Structure 1
Amino acid sequence: MTLSISIIVITCLISIPAFNNGKMVDDLSMWPYMVKERNQYYRFITSGFVHADFMHLGFNMLTLYFFGSAIENAFDLLFGSKLYFLFFYVLALILSDTPTFIKHRNHSYYRTIGASGAVSAVVFAAILFDPWNNIYVYFIPVPAIVYGVLYLGYTIYMSRSENRDGINHDAHLWGAVVGILFPIVYKPEIASYFLEALLAGPGRR
């Protein structure tokens, strides 16, 4: 079983029982106020293993299923071990929620759940490695780089918008940043490869 499949299984085993268990969600969610007041730093990780409902869980886990194994194999090839994928995923969970913690650490009412930040990191790592690969949005093929630019633009706009929709867009945004920077920090030449692939255009990968 691959690491990404293992993460999906564990996430489902935790998330599904939590759907109708408010106490479980409270205990595991990213609750910035509780992190600050009671040093419950584990919430940076556990919040990524609980979801609001089947749609929320399904979207994140399907996305991880389609992109996770490819990034896992890429990290194995580049860094010599698939364990880098596990480190990458956990780091993305933590760093994608860090701006949320800073912003809401004094707001006792604010809580957020879901693996979207880490999943966003996986997707953007995939875009970095293959910018002209197609990503299917409602069954419509969209070049990965185009999807990435539109996604970042929308996420930045929504994270600054006063019209909150209940989605933690900050986690999506900073997860994407982790997905781009993590591989480049470990292998700076990946940035050159990305630019070459981008300039080569579609069909010339």
Structure 2
Amino acid sequence: MTESRSAQALFQAAYENRYTWEPNFPGYTATVEFKHGDQALTGTIVVKANLSAEVTGIEDEEARKSIIGQLREVAIHRVRRTFTETHGMNTFAYGETDATGAIEILMPEKPMGDRYKLRNNEVCHVHRHLHGIMVTIDTFSSHDTGAGYLSHRYDSIYADPATGEIKSDKIVFEDNYQKVGNYQILSQRIVAAIEDGQPVTTEFNFTNIALLADRVEAAAVAV
């Protein structure tokens, strides 16, 4: 750790190293295959330029909600916001460096103990109070897109912020991406969780990915 470099500067560099979409992101459409236990469903998804998501062709309401939830979660993390817009009111301080070389970044003004860890100019650990729950995320591998990194394998766990009581079993994720035009688009998310005491894997597979601008141009040519 270089003490002469401020904790804020180190954290800002990692924040700005994340892969995000350009502000003129056009949205996209894709075929979705949803697998949950023995259930397998296929439909079509649209993520619009305003990042709202729709699913058609799948009648199961829980499956639709699950797909939309994952698409929204991914899209939110692709929104490009400056460091000042996101963290301009926050302060940062160095914590400990763990055995892997990850540097802890503390947020002293946060009463719930929000903190991060950085490794190789990437955020590899998040511990944040969000919407009444404490979320802890550890990232174990990432994709280098050449224009910022994307998390590949990671897990999350939720706890009561007041008591520290764990509120959920650990959820393990694996994300894969496909470059479409100038954009990295989620092509697969595998989620391993515990339901009713039993391990269950859910897959979200996206194929035939096309940017909405490409669809519009193709339709215009056909006419």
TM-score, structure 1 normalization: 0.24
More helix by share: 1
More strand by share: 2
Larger RCO, structure (CA 8 Å, separation 6 or more)? 1
